[in-house]
Amino acid sequence: MRGVSGPLWTSAEIEAATGGTASAVFDVTGITFDSREVEPGWLFVAMPGTVADGHDFVARALGLGAAGALVSRAVEGPHVLVADVPQALEALAREGRARMDGKVLGVTGSVGKTGTKEALAAALARRHPGKVHRSLKSYNNHVGVPLSLARMPRDSVYGIFEMGMNHAGEIRALAAMVRPHVALITAIAPAHIENLGSLEAISDAKGEIFEGLEPGGTAIIPNDTPYRDRLLKGARRFAETIVTFGSGDADVAAMHAVRSDSGGSLVTARLTTADLTYNIAQPGEHWVGNSLAVLAAVEAVGADLAAAGLALGDMGGLKGRGARHQVPVAGGTALLIDESYNANPASMSATLRSLAAENVDGRRLAVLGTMLELGDFSDEAHAGLAPIILETGIAELILVGDATRPLAAALDGRLPVTVVADASAATAALLARLAPDDAVLVKASNGIGLASLVERVAGGAA
């Protein structure tokens, strides 16, 4: 969290926002509900939980230098006592949003939302360093969004918030807290289809973000989805301006895009007010679409498009979402592409195509884990990856989890496939195969735990 000239919150402000009672006068410079993240001067939020209760960690947090705690029962040390900690955090979030006079942007979508949020933050920070606040990590749920809002410094010029969901109605509640001036949907894909039942229902759930738009707000919608018109219909009820991005007749479109020598893309885009040529550091065709969404949002808030283009060219890979590691192996190095944080059929296809575009002197390998929350669609979705895998030219495939067996069956022996039970077995299998100049893609839903494989194989590699 960036430093500010004054406190993020005073104990009196926390009292007023939450209706609580402060045991002492104190100021805080940051907020967390994870005692492992506590830094001197921060507020520790003692969230209840099914496994552990945050109140049990108050003493630890204060010992690490926390200035105070937000609690629902009396504790030793400075604190604000409230009736309900989660409700108090939401109240603090609403006050954090209310006191900020800048522009707020909300981002959701089935795929690409975290990368797009990070790229958007980098684009806006180019002209406003230290004045752009964003939700960290993937703090995009009913706890993470309030925390991110409560962390927003009052002098922020821009606030960017990612919103996720597993069920209908979740984004509606989050958007009501965020109250964005710009609401952006990256894509519609069968993530969480197990809970929502259909892509139409997923589209409607993502479209709930428009309900939180401030008066005069802008909705930004992907043009390249069968659900574009459905999203447009929903957005018209709440948005003053609607901008589409993508290909064809999109308002913001790539007129020309080619792979650059660095592995990213060189793009010439048509925006609503100007044309722009820029580089994207991130590899993959899907990043062309992400960049168009970013530029549409930058244009919507009247920010500097040229600076945004420069930022896209400087952006590095994100942990779990495209970070690249040169891994030492006997006789040389191999490239490991870390996409271990999330996976669904759309993002799997996009990253596999990126692997196909890699300039590789050795082999292309892939470690692919189960795509979760697909319900009855799971077998079909996993088997459906077979054609793109064959097009990619993958020399050998390691699959993780029983749910990937339909994919192995669909490949029908056309390339070597090893199916293993878990991340530990996948790590051993990869280490036994990795050779100099290989490029390996690691991708799965986060619950499969392939981040541990990346950590073990990449270690301290750059």
- For the chain of 462 residues, list the mean pLDDT of each consecutive stretch of 10: 70 98 97 95 93 93 97 96 97 97 96 91 95 88 95 97 91 97 93 77 95 98 96 97 96 92 87 94 87 98 96 82 87 92 86 86 95 90 95 94 96 95 96 95 93 87 42
Strands 21-22 and 132-134: unpaired
Would you state the pLDDT for residue 111? 84
233, HSE (Cβ side, Cα atoms, 13 Å):
7
Q: Please list, in sequence order, all residues whose beta carbon lies within 8 angstroms of the beta carbon of residue 397, skipping any fewer than 6 positions away.
A: 365, 366, 368, 389, 411, 415, 416, 417, 418
Torsion 39-40-42-46 (CA) sign? positive
Domains of the chain by residue range? 9-84, 100-314, 323-458
**Which candidate, 281, 282, 285, 334, places its Cα nearest to that of 454?**
334
Would you state the pLDDT for residue 5? 58
How big is the CA angle at 451 (ends 450 and 456), to the nearest 5 degrees? 95
Q: In the structure encoding, which two tokens stand for residue 268, read together?
A: 């010439």
Q: In the structure encoding, which two tokens stand for residue 86, read together?
A: 């989660």
Q: Within 10 Å of residue 173's Cβ, how many Cβ atoms?
A: 16
Q: In the structure encoding, which two tokens stand for residue 158, read together?
A: 């821009």
Q: Phi first, then psi: what are they for 24, rounded to 5°? A: -160, 170
Q: Please list, in sequence order, all residues whose beta carbon lies within 8 angstroms of the beta carbon of residue 276, skipping any fewer than 6 positions away.
A: 268, 269, 295, 305, 306, 309
Topology alike, domains 9-84 and 100-314: no
**Which candidate, 406, 405, 439, places its Cα nearest to that of 419?**
405
CA end-to-end distance (rounded Å), the chain: 24
Q: In the structure encoding, which two tokens stand for residue 37, read together?
A: 């993240």
Rounded CA-CA distance 133/39 in Å is 18
Rounded CA-CA distance 178/160 in Å is 9
- 254 membership: H or E segment, kind and range: strand 252-259
Cross-strand partners of 332: 329
Q: Within 10 Å of residue 236's Cβ, how many Cβ atoms?
A: 12
Would you state the pLDDT for residue 375? 87
Cross-strand partners of 334: 327
Fold held by 323-458:
Protein-Tyrosine Phosphatase; Chain A (3.90.190)
Superfamily grouping for domain 9-84: MurE/MurF, N-terminal domain (3.40.1390.10)
Q: Phi first, then psi: what are they for 168, rounded to 5°? A: -60, 145
Q: CATH second-level architecture of 100-314?
A: 3-Layer(aba) Sandwich (3.40)
